[in-house]
A and B are shown apart, each in its own frame.
Chain A
Amino acid sequence: MSDGEVLLEVEELITAFDTDRGLIRAVDRVGFTVKRGRTLGIVGESGCGKSVTAMSIIRLLPQPAGRILQGRVMFKGRDLTKIPAKELRKVRGGEIGVIFQEPMTALNPVHRIGRQLSECFLLHKKMSRKEAWEASVEMLRLVRIPSPEMRMGDYPHQLSGGMRQRVVIAMALACRPDLVIADEPTTALDVTVQAQILDLMGRLREELGMALILITHDLGVIAENCDDVVVMYAGRVVEKAPVKELFARPLHAYTRGLLASIPRMDSAPKSVLPTIPGMVAGMADFVPGCRFCQRMERRGPTLRERPDFIEASPGHWVEACPICYAGKEENP
């Protein structure tokens, strides 16, 4: 298979949680595609549904509260929402690798690194213990952990945060997956370590020809590491486009607000930063219509009906709320 071919297609996905206030949709008809060998960024603020979307893809939702109500997740010809759990376990960790924000949640504190890493090979590949051990050392070398043979005998707590995340990356990549889902992989790390990890992931992605879904709240990380971007707000995709297009011509008011509100290295010191007033409504209070209008405390018809999701220019999609989508006039 070659680059540019669609590897994963998420269509009309709805994921909901059972709560005291009834069934609440955390992800509300979300769709996007990931092409082989490309990096898709999903950006949005806490509670926008970006992590729930990712976890829905591999069906790792909190049980029993979370469930997929509707939609398809097509991965290499199969709908992951429909395949039996046993088959899914082979996909997870085999064809799809996962990296979480906090490496300690992915690592077992009472087992040595070597054992945990070998497990991936023993579970997904037909390898002997010795082969699995050697393959594990090789993986640690690949993620540039110094003296990997020695580290195999360490417990997770003996490693620094950056080293632990490298181990998690090694585990995620062990079986040469076609797709890696990384949920805020560097948020808990320092900038210098973040740069190392992201550069490493980018290099490995190229070498191994994987596709990557990178979930982050950091627009800088998106700009430097992604080919395509999905902007999520309040459980929905409000805009999606190739990365350069999105930063050059943001069409949705939320994307514009988000881009304007980050302090930049060249912004005037101590100047007033543009802000987005208010805050995201609680999930239980989401309106059926435009949720950014809801944040802006607007009244009227835009709150009642969900705006169409339109292709404003080739490859550039936006939720076309008559108030929040100010595209055409300003961007001829």
Chain B
Amino acid sequence: MKGVDEKEYLAPGHRACAGCGATIAARLALKALGENTIAVSATGCLEVITTPYPETAWEIPWIHVAFENASAVASGVEGALKAQGKEDTNIVVFGGDGGTTDIGMQSLSGAMERGQNIIYICYDNEAYMNTGIQRSSSTPYGASTTTSPAGKESFGEDKFKKNMAAIMVAHGVPYVATACISHPQDLMAKVKKAAETPGPAYIHVLQPCATGWGYSPDKTVKLGKLAVDTHMWLLYEAVNGQIEVTVKPSQKLPVEEYLKAQKRFRHLDEEHIEIIQKFVDGQSKQFGLTE
């Protein structure tokens, strides 16, 4: 890609599944940030696959402590950098959806409210993939997971996913954005903007997961594109709370095309697909993508 740092900061050879979307997200984000960056990981897929001792895939300084505290760890790193006069170094946090929207919510809220100068990137694969596809508060309506399985009395997850970007905007976070690994330029531009914004920034990246969603590993980018084209996932940014859509798909596809491409939604009947379609239509309207 033109104008993109050719250097890799997340080295190949890590232990990710074929078609992993999380590593695409991290790789692109790091290319946008460059070498003057320190990364903090929450426990989760990205941490586990990249750092089997004594190896590491990280070409920049990296620290991991636990599942729920990456934002607090990053707060400490920021304090240390301030004390050392290295305020120009980027601090980027990578947390999965479980580590962000569930167990890491408190420390994230604290760090954002305190205005810590960190870039928080949630790589959202919509379930606890590292532990075997359990439901998180970011799991979408209708998805079958190992703890919200579809069955005789169940159509899978019965809640819509938590709206993290809105929660971050409500914290007064000066730069909040959504992104998807299928739109690398948009993602990297947002990460750059996040780095340029003084104070905290939050980017919620949707990243399809072949293992957890049930599709062929060569379709990760395609699934991301389908999520955006069906408006299941909207790409926007909120600068000081002012929301602006950054990618307007030329044609809005029915959600069914996205749902049918994945095993986790395959059980859904027309009624539930209709509920999802209605929800998505409401979102598109709210964001001014449709009349």
Partners in one complex: no
Give A contacts to B, CB under 8 Å: none
